[in-house]
Structure 1
Amino acid sequence: MKNILLLAIIVSSLATAQEIKLDGSIITSTTGFEENLLKENKNITVISKETLEKKDYKNVEEVLRDAPNVMVQETYFGPVIDLRGNGERAISRVKVLVDGIGINPIDESMGTLPINTIPVNSIERIEIIPGGGAVLNGSGTAGGVVNVITKSTARKNYFTSSYGNMSYDTNKASFGGGYNITDRLYMNMGYSYLKGNGYRNDDDREEGSFTGGFDYKISDRQRIRIQGTKFRGNQDTSNPINKELLAQNRKAAGFPVESNSDRESYSLDHEFKVNDKFTVLTTLYDQRYKRNFVENSVMDYEMEMPKKKSVFVPNMNAQMDGRFDEKSKGAKIRGKYIYDRGELVLGYDYNKTKLKRSSLITATGDKYDYIMGPIKLPTVIKPVDVSVNVDNDIFKETNGFYGLNRYNLTEKLQLTTGLRYEHSSYGGTRSSVSNINTSYPNYMGGKPIKINKTRVAEDKKSSDNFAGEIGLNYSYSDTGSIYTRYERGFISPMPGQITDKDQKGEYKPNNLKSETSDTLEVGVKDFIGNSFLSWSVFTTFTEDEISLIQGSVHNPATKWWSYKNLGKTRRIGTELFAEQYFGNLTLNQGITYVNTKITKGDYKGDKVPMAPEGKLTLGANYKITEKLTSGVTFNYVGKSTVREFDKKDNTFKTNISGYHFTDLTVQYKVNEYFTVSGGINNIFNNNYNYSETRDSAIPAPGRNYYLSGAISL
């Protein structure tokens, strides 16, 4: 509490933060074409290039942690972006785009968002649309859309180069530039490199990313843009550690996890202005994301034997070797026609994503308990070797058709209507091979025990879904507007969700269907005096929510699961963003509150797991002199719950407390071209965790520092 009171004093007097000025902003995430932000009937936040340059962010994850309405979850396989309380399902309910192209995986269990493969120095802006986007983007937008817009979309001459040193022996270097070689040809390229240790013992990482392309004006009415990105990274870290050990040493390492990832993406955009009223945009893309990891742990294993006998082996030294290779190709065609009283956008989307995922689990032990029905015999000292090899070869193919119309009922009142039809087919092959080698107890002859089980399942299904929206936006003044909207969205199943695994280890198809969501929202945006205000109130109801029922969760070798449309949830909340301008001082505040509730299903009455109740951001930016700027940001993330399982597969809830952190930044502009930046993150050295359960957690860094210099031409 003392830290929060001290922060309030600092913010009231000087400080710095996410300076997000929306007046005159142009966005592309609502129609696929450039639109004026203040005309939108959605609560949209734009993180500008200027905001990104005020703090030496290592990756996009850090940027979004500072955004006023974004929650970032640190999951077992990487960061997940959450908007409006989607919690553990956020990876399939919030769509993340790069220049309008989706990067969400088609697998929830081992999938992750490759947002940290996007170099921060290549970003022009980030557009955040909570709770909207189903007509334009299809399945998986119930929570909203985050669109990262890169500098390759703007034909500006620029050159930037920077170098920074951070805590934990981390160094970061980058350069980028774009140049109009002729009146028709524009080229751009950039490179970013980071190497250093992490906050926890034995953590280290090394990563590099290259991006480049060109934009060519074929004629006054046609242009073509080709862009490519290549990322490669290696990271050594560790899994969650027991909280009792963490209390003694925040930097203590858990069992080691080694991973490496490669991502490459290529896109081609063609713009054709048929005439002054009709424009057609075509995008073709091809992207691939590979991720490999090796994780060490200790696990228990129980194996079924013939004639109702079983062997239980505790505390086996185990290793999981995982492989993830996802390829995605697609096309987006959209046309915009401007008529006397509005505009009409028609579009077609195609995407096919293939994923090959494998995991090899090996475990060894030197003793086991032999069980014959209800009788447990004395512990046996025998070597035990277990291996389980799981392979998934799955796909999802989608065709979507949509129309979005904006009609000016009067000079001040605009009606927006939209409709989308989407057909998806998905499925693939699963296989599992289990091998167990040991021997019977000596008093039973000591004969070898060799068990081999092979299971294969193949399934393919399809779904047809509709999305729609209708809304009004009333501009009651030159700067202010009030809006209301209704949106119907959907989430079609992922290919890995249409096959269950029963408690005997056999694969079985299920009858999973798409879930649907209905969102109602009312909001207002306005400039009042020297202040900007954006406020919305919303509610979302989800039907047939996909629920995962599982058991033996503490043992990946014997884990079983079932997907069912059991869930029904309700989310009610509000979002407020305000910014005030007082000469050299800019203050801003962001408040997000979401009340979630499961209203149907096995967990009726519970809150949505891993969904924080809200977020508070406070910030200020003070220009001390023409060259020196200083500031502070404060973020508070509310409490949440985690659903866990004990070793008998009984569920229980763990309440996770809220946390806060405060960052201080300073910028000094040496001259027109050179700027020095420094900062202290988590200046009060608060202990909080990126992820947490009842017994274990992954700690967030304590107080840390950075110093960097940047050249801009």
Structure 2
Amino acid sequence: GDPSMISNEFDLNLVPLNLIERIEILKGAQSTLYGSDAIGGVINIITKNKSVPNFSGDISTGSYGTRKINAQHSSSIGKLNYVIGFGNESAKGFSSATDLTGKNNFDNDGFRNNNWFANINYAFNQNWNLKASTQQTSYNADIDYGAFKDDKDEKFNNATKLTGFVLKYKKEKTIFQLQYQLSTQDRQYKNDSLDKTYTIFEDNQYAGKSHFADAFFSKAISKNMQWITGVDFRYGSYHQTYVSISKWGPYNDNFKDTFQYQTALYTSLLINDASNKWLLELGGRSNKHDRYGSNQTFTISPSYKLNANIRFMASASTGYKAPSLYQLSYNDALKPEQSFNTEIGMEYKTTPLFFRAVYYNRTIDNGIDYNYIDYNFFNYIQQKVNGLELELNWKANAKNNFSANYTLMNGQETNQNRVTTTDTITYNYLLKRPKNTAGIQWAYEVSPKLNFSMAARYIGKRYDVGGYAAADVSLKSYTLLNAHIQYKLNKHLLLYADGQNLGNTVFQEINGYNAMGRMLMLGLRLK
């Protein structure tokens, strides 16, 4: 993550889409293997590392003045495989802030994104393998002053560098892996004096750096037992400078450089019976943080295969989320968030049909929240969440494929009263998370050269923070309709069109900020 960000999050806008091979989503607490921040799940982005000689590119244009171009090349030289690529994306955009003035004079907020990357893979022999990668992104955007507040000259600039390697040894039933990653982030928010807001001039700069190292050993102890054990180390630091000029005069603040680190030992045991019907995963992690001390997590995940089509599964796990450096700079007494998660479900799978149903329950203690009256971070008491997830995929025939999903989420949170902060209150909803979400998709192969797909997504009513000493506000539900069509001109060229929010639905994901309207793109892809 980015140690200078509020919650140590990494901005996914900085990940080049042409670098991604696939995305895996692991649900439930995953802190035993993945550590801090895996309190409710993990998004695992797997990047490309092809060895087959190949050149590909993509160019597209569309609504809001959007332009995209990217290219990549992969090949091999002896034992060395490599992938290199670059991408450029820009848009004139739309106003980030929602205009309630009725004057319709909020300006558009555009962005520009440039990136390049290189991945190499070198096989020393049949057992030892080394992967190394580097990625650099430059992201610039126009931003507004805040919710419902326009600003015609505030800018956001971000420069990110990611560099790392993975050294792997594999022989028969034994695996050893060592990995390291260094990331640096330089962010700037600059508001000059052309368009007056609350300040005449404002320059806020952040510099963050994080180190991550992990080593694990995996061994098949027997035919029915696999053991994994490992250690990891995480270090994050950031520096901030702030300069402003307002009607009260100039202000200059250099925040003290700050850092934090944590070490961990983890282990996992995977057991199955001779018939491969029973599968049991047991895991544990011990984590030591230089600020708040130690904490432990565990995972128990059994599953049972009733027959060739039906499998039942369950899990119980704990997770944690360490307070970020940014949060600790406001309140150094913050405790880590801690979660207890349980799931029970079943899967049904045949050649044309897949169905999955899971009931989940999660309790979070010492959750970290922000007080909009005192402008500080604090630990709230408890959050409880339970619900149901349904997933269906049906391959009707060789040309038609249908999929659908539904999520029910019930939640309540015992927290400070967000209007007064002087008493404790239980909210029977979760901020920014709807009780009901659903989706459906249809993919149709018209011919070997022509493919078409259409999808609809429903997001139910949810609540967001109202602001300073204000009650939470309700955001209305909405439905989005998307479509994609592509035609293969020849074995190397593919023409495509993409449409998002075809109904031009007006909605807000965050209170006070606009969401994208109808978006149409036309592109050409070279393979």
Q: Residue 189 of structure 1: which of 64, 74, 84 is its match?
A: 84
Alignment-derived partner of residue 101 in structure 2: none
CA displacement at 1:625 relative to structure 2: 1.4
Alignment-derived partner of residue 61 in structure 1: none
For residues 508-533 of structure 1, the C-alpha deviation after alignment (integer angstroms, 9 at most, x for no partner) is x6533223110000122221452111
1:319 to 1:492, Cα distance in 2 relative to 1, 3 A: same
1:534 to 1:385, Cα distance in 2 relative to 1, 3 A: same
Q: Residue 411 of structure 2: which of 596, 609, 612 is its match?
A: 596
CA displacement at 1:316 relative to structure 2: 4.4
Alignment-derived partner of residue 160 in structure 2: 263
For residues 181-238 of structure 1, the C-alpha deviation after alignment (integer angstroms, 9 at most, x for no partner) is 22x2111111111123113333222221111131111011101111110111221232
1:353 lines up with 2:250 in the alignment: no
1:198 lines up with 2:102 in the alignment: no
How far apart, in 2, do the equivalents of 1:228 and 1:196 lie? Answer: 26
1:268 to 1:690, Cα distance in 2 relative to 1, 3 A: same
1:402 lines up with 2:266 in the alignment: yes
SS at structure 2 position matched to 1:135: helix
1:139 lines up with 2:36 in the alignment: yes
For residues 526-547 of structure 1, the C-alpha deviation after alignment (integer angstroms, 9 at most, x for no partner) is 2145211122110001122234
Alignment-derived partner of residue 472 in structure 2: 653
Alignment-derived partner of residue 471 in structure 1: 301
1:106 to 1:239, Cα distance in 2 relative to 1, 3 A: closer
Q: Residue 445 of structure 2: which of 609, 623, 634 is its match?
A: 623
Q: Residue 679 of structure 1: which of 498, 501, 526 is its match?
A: 498
Q: For 1:235, give the aligned amino acid.
A: A
For residues 639-664 of structure 1, the C-alpha deviation after alignment (integer angstroms, 9 at most, x for no partner) is 21123344xxx341211112221112
Answer with 463-472 or 111-120: which moved more.
111-120
Structure of higher CA gyration radius: 1
Q: Residue 6 of structure 2: which of 94, 99, 108 is its match?
A: 108
For residues 548-607 of structure 1, the C-alpha deviation after alignment (integer angstroms, 9 at most, x for no partner) is 3342xxxxxxxx444443321100111122111122011111112211101465232342
Alignment-derived partner of residue 519 in structure 2: 704
How far apart, in 1, do the equivalents of 2:441 and 2:161 lie? Answer: 36
For residues 87-122 of structure 1, the C-alpha deviation after alignment (integer angstroms, 9 at most, x for no partner) is xxxxxxxxxxxxxxxx3546427x653211111111
For residues 459-478 of structure 1, the C-alpha deviation after alignment (integer angstroms, 9 at most, x for no partner) is xx332010101110112233
1:488 to 1:299, Cα distance in 2 relative to 1, 3 A: farther
SS at structure 2 position matched to 1:689: coil
Alignment-derived partner of residue 322 in structure 1: 204
More helix, by proportion = 1
Residues 3, 237 of structure 2: 8 Å contact kept: no
Q: Residue 388 of structure 2: which of 574, 578, 583 is its match?
A: 574
Residues 394, 496 of structure 1: 8 Å contact kept: no
Residues 300, 317 of structure 2: 8 Å contact kept: yes
1:319 to 1:642, Cα distance in 2 relative to 1, 3 A: farther
CA displacement at 1:361 relative to structure 2: 3.4
1:387 lines up with 2:387 in the alignment: no
1:578 to 1:104, Cα distance in 2 relative to 1, 3 A: farther
How far apart, in 2, do the equivalents of 1:676 and 1:328 lie? Answer: 41
Q: For 1:566, give the aligned amino acid.
A: Y
Residues 666, 677 of structure 1: 8 Å contact kept: yes
* Mapping 1:29-48, distance limit 5 Å: none
1:158 lines up with 2:54 in the alignment: yes
Q: In angstroms, what is the RMSD of aligned CA positions?
A: 2.4
1:255 to 1:131, Cα distance in 2 relative to 1, 3 A: farther
1:288 to 1:237, Cα distance in 2 relative to 1, 3 A: same
User: TM-score normalized by structure 2?
Assistant: 0.90
CA displacement at 1:482 relative to structure 2: 1.2
How far apart, in 1, do the equivalents of 2:449 and 2:280 lie? Answer: 46
CA displacement at 1:318 relative to structure 2: 4.4
1:469 to 1:299, Cα distance in 2 relative to 1, 3 A: farther
Residues 475, 508 of structure 2: 8 Å contact kept: no
Residues 191, 210 of structure 1: 8 Å contact kept: yes
How far apart, in 2, do the equivalents of 1:475 and 1:177 lie? Answer: 43
User: TM-score normalized by structure 1?
Assistant: 0.67
Residues 138, 467 of structure 1: 8 Å contact kept: no
How far apart, in 2, do the equivalents of 1:677 and 1:218 lie? Answer: 41
How far apart, in 2, do the equivalents of 1:537 and 1:606 lie? Answer: 19
Residues 292, 335 of structure 2: 8 Å contact kept: no
How far apart, in 1, do the equivalents of 2:241 and 2:349 lie? Answer: 54
Q: Residue 527 of structure 1: which of 326, 349, 355 is its match?
A: 349
Alignment-derived partner of residue 669 in structure 1: 488
How far apart, in 2, do the equivalents of 1:316 and 1:231 lie? Answer: 31
* Mapping 1:372-451, distance limit 5 Å: 384-385=248-249, 387=251, 389=253, 391-411=255-275, 412-425=277-290
Residues 106, 396 of structure 1: 8 Å contact kept: no
SS at structure 2 position matched to 1:699: coil
How far apart, in 1, do the equivalents of 2:135 and 2:287 lie? Answer: 29
CA displacement at 1:711 relative to structure 2: 1.0
How far apart, in 2, do the equivalents of 1:564 and 1:700 lie? Answer: 30
1:157 to 1:590, Cα distance in 2 relative to 1, 3 A: farther
How far apart, in 2, do the equivalents of 1:576 and 1:511 lie? Answer: 40
How far apart, in 2, do the equivalents of 1:639 and 1:361 lie? Answer: 39
1:705 to 1:497, Cα distance in 2 relative to 1, 3 A: closer
For residues 369-405 of structure 1, the C-alpha deviation after alignment (integer angstroms, 9 at most, x for no partner) is xxxxxxxxxxxxxxx4253535242212111110011
CA displacement at 1:628 relative to structure 2: 0.9
How far apart, in 1, do the equivalents of 2:55 and 2:194 lie? Answer: 51
- For structure 2, the 5+ residue unaligned runs are 96-106, 417-423
Alignment-derived partner of residue 31 in structure 1: none
How far apart, in 1, do the equivalents of 2:165 and 2:351 lie? Answer: 44
SS at structure 1 position matched to 2:39: coil
1:511 to 1:193, Cα distance in 2 relative to 1, 3 A: closer
Alignment-derived partner of residue 227 in structure 2: 344
Alignment-derived partner of residue 421 in structure 2: none
CA displacement at 1:608 relative to structure 2: 2.5
Alignment-derived partner of residue 449 in structure 1: none
Residues 544, 568 of structure 1: 8 Å contact kept: yes
- For structure 1, the 5+ residue unaligned runs are 1-102, 244-252, 301-314, 365-383, 426-460, 501-508, 552-559
Residues 3, 210 of structure 2: 8 Å contact kept: no
SS at structure 2 position matched to 1:611: coil
Residues 299, 318 of structure 2: 8 Å contact kept: yes
Alignment-derived partner of residue 135 in structure 2: 229
Q: Residue 286 of structure 1: which of 178, 182, 185 is its match?
A: 182
CA displacement at 1:613 relative to structure 2: 2.2
How far apart, in 2, do the equivalents of 1:466 and 1:523 lie? Answer: 26
SS at structure 1 position matched to 2:172: coil
Once the two structures are aligned, what percentage of the paired residues are identical? 19
Q: For 1:340, give the aligned amino acid.
A: K
1:390 to 1:640, Cα distance in 2 relative to 1, 3 A: farther
For CA contacts below 8 A with separation 6 or more, give which structure has more relative contact order: 1
Alignment-derived partner of residue 332 in structure 1: 214
* Mapping 1:477-496, distance limit 5 Å: 477-496=307-326
Q: For 1:328, give the aligned amino acid.
A: S
Q: For 2:404, give the aligned amino acid.
A: Q
Alignment-derived partner of residue 104 in structure 2: none
CA displacement at 1:340 relative to structure 2: 1.9
